[in-house]
Structure 1
Amino acid sequence: MRAALHAEWTKMRTVVSPRWLLLGTVAATVALSTVATSVVNCTAGHCGGDTTKLTLMGVHLGQVPVAILGVQIISGEYGTGMIRTTLTAVPRRATVFPAKAITLTGAVVVSGTVAVLASVLVGRLVLPDVGDQALSLADGPTRRAVFGTVLYLVLIGLLSFGIATVVRNSASSIGGVLALLYVLPIISQTIGDPDWQRLLQQLGPSAGLSIQATTDFGSLPIGPWAGLGVTAVWAVASLIAGGLLLRRRDAY
C-alpha cells in the first residue's frame, strides 16, 4: 500500500491537470461566494437569512472541479492506456483502488478546506455587520457547516471516482455526475406534488448541501447530518461498484 500511495501521490503532484482543478476548486468557490455576499444589504447588525449558508454558496460551483478530478484520476488512465502500466507496477487491484481514493481524499481535503475557509473570511469582510459570533468557527453551527462542507466535497470526489471506475469514460462519467448534482435538483422543482418533490430532494447526492444550514431547519427537505449521510451513501455505493468491477474486468 505504501508504494501504491507514493505512486499515486507522484502522479497527482507531477501531472498538470490535477493542480489546475484543485486551484479551480478554490477559485470557483471563493468567487461565487464573494458575488453572493456582495449583493446582500445588512442593516442594524442583521443581514437576514442564513449568512453562513450564503457565504458557502460557492461550493455549488466549486464542486465541479472536484467532480472532474475524481473522474480524471481513474478514467484518464483508461483513456491513455496508463492503467495497464499502473496495474503492472501494482498488480493487486485491491491495493490500487484504495490508494487512488486516499490520494484523492487528501487532495480534496486540502483544497476544500482552503476554499471554504477563504469563503468564510470573505463573508466576514464583506458582511461586517453580522456580528462577532456569526461566521466564526467558535460558533457551533457555523463550525459544523464549514467542516461539513469540506466533507461534502470529499464525498463528491469519491462519488465521481467510483462512477468513473464503473464507466471508464471521462466524458460520460463527468456528464453523469453533473446530471446527478444539477439536473436532478432541477427536475425535482418541476414536480407538482410537494411530497414527491421533497422525496427527490432528499434522495439526491446534493442533499449533503443541507449541512451548510445553520438556521430555519424546518424549511429544509432533509436535516444537515441526514443530508450528508445521503451523499455518503451515494459515494460508498459508487466505490463498492467501482472496486468490484475493477477487480473483475480487464484493463482495456
Structure 2
Amino acid sequence: MTATQVVQSEWTKIRSVASTVWTLSLAVVVTIALGMLISALSKNEFESLSARDRAAFDPTFISFAGMSLGQLAMIVFGVLVVSNEYSTGMIRVSLAAVPQRGTFLFSKLGVATALALVVSMATSFATFFLGQAMLGDLKASIGDDGVLRAVFGGGLYMTLMALFSMGVATMLRSPMLSLGILMPFFFLISNILGNVDATKKVGRFLPDQAGSKIMQVVQPPDDDTPYGPWGGLGIMALWVAAAVVGGYVLLKRRDAQ
C-alpha cells in the first residue's frame, strides 16, 4: 500500500469506530459546559475576592477551566485510536497489509492528530467566547495582549494531550493498562505533585502543568515558574515526542499481538 492509501485506511478506521467519535464529542461538550459554568461562578464571586486575588484574576484562563476534564476525554480518544486494534486482534491484519511499521504508525498518528487538532481548535475558541460571555463586564477581548496566543494554545494543548496518549498506548498496547496509568496520573498524581511544596518544582515540569501555561494571560504575583507560555508548551512537546518515539521503537521491535 502507498502512504496515501494507508492514510485513507486510517481515516476510515477512525470515523467508523463509534467510541472515538463519542469521546471527541464528549471532550467538546465537557470543556465548553464546564468552562461556561466556572466562568459564571467566577463572575458572581468576583466582588468577594481580595485585592491580591483580583490582581491575579485571569478571565481567559478561567474560561478554559473545563479543559481539566475535557483533556481526559482526549486521552481516551488517543488511547482508543491506537489500542482498539490490539484489543480486537486486528493489529495483525493491519501490519500484514502495511509491513512498513513506521508508515503504519505515523499515518495513524497523523490522521488522528489532524482530527484532534481541528476539534481542539474549534473547542478552544468556542470555550473562550462562551466563557467570556458568562463573565460579562469582566471579560477579556480576543484582541487583548496574549489572549489570541492563549486561545490557540488551548487547542494545541488538547491536541498534544491526545498525541501523548497515542504514544503511550503504542508502547503499552492495552487500552485498560494505558487508561489505568494515564487517567490517575493526570487527574490525581499531577495535581498532588503540583500543589505540595516539596514536589512543586518537579510537578511544574510534567506535561499537563507545563503545557497549560500557554493558556495563562495574567501572571500570578507569586508565580516563580522558570519558563513562559511557549516554553511550557515546548516542555510538553518534548514529553509527546518521547512518547511517540518510544512507541515507534517498541512497535519496530515487537511482534504483532
For 2:65, what is the secondary structure of its paired residue? coil
For structure 1, the 5+ residue unaligned runs are none
Distance 2:4 2:112 in 1: 15
For 1:41, what is the secondary structure of its paired residue? helix
Change (3 A) 1:135 1:73: same
Change (3 A) 1:205 1:127: closer
Equivalent residue number for residue 225 of structure 1: 230
Deviation of 1:41 (Å): 2.6
Quote the sequence identity (%). Answer: 33
Equivalent residue number for residue 86 of structure 1: 94
CA contact (8 A) 2:64 2:127 kept: yes
Equivalent residue number for residue 37 of structure 2: 35
Q: Deviations over 1:205-230 (max 9, x none)?
A: 43211111101255263421121111
Q: Report the AA paired with residue 212 of structure 1.
A: M
Across the aligned residues of Structure 1 and Structure 2, the Cα RMSD in angstroms comes to 2.1
For structure 2, the 5+ residue unaligned runs are 48-52
Equivalent residue number for residue 130 of structure 2: 122
**TM-score when normalising by structure 2:** 0.89
Equivalent residue number for residue 183 of structure 2: 178
Distance 2:109 2:88 in 1: 20
For 2:43, what is the secondary structure of its paired residue? coil
Alignment of 1:1-252 (within 5 A): 1-41=3-43, 48=54, 49-130=57-138, 134-136=140-142, 138-189=143-194, 191-193=196-198, 196-216=199-219, 219=223, 221=225, 222-252=227-257
For 2:255, what is the secondary structure of its paired residue? coil
For 2:203, what is the secondary structure of its paired residue? helix
Q: Report the AA paired with residue 199 of structure 1.
A: V
Distance 1:190 1:175 in 2: 22
Distance 2:58 2:107 in 1: 38
Q: Deviations over 1:156-203 (max 9, x none)?
A: 11110011111111011012122332223233256443xx42232224
Deviation of 1:58 (Å): 1.0
CA contact (8 A) 2:210 2:235 kept: yes
**TM-score when normalising by structure 1:** 0.90
Q: How many residues align?
A: 246
Distance 2:182 2:224 in 1: 23
Q: Report the AA paired with residue 237 of structure 1.
A: A
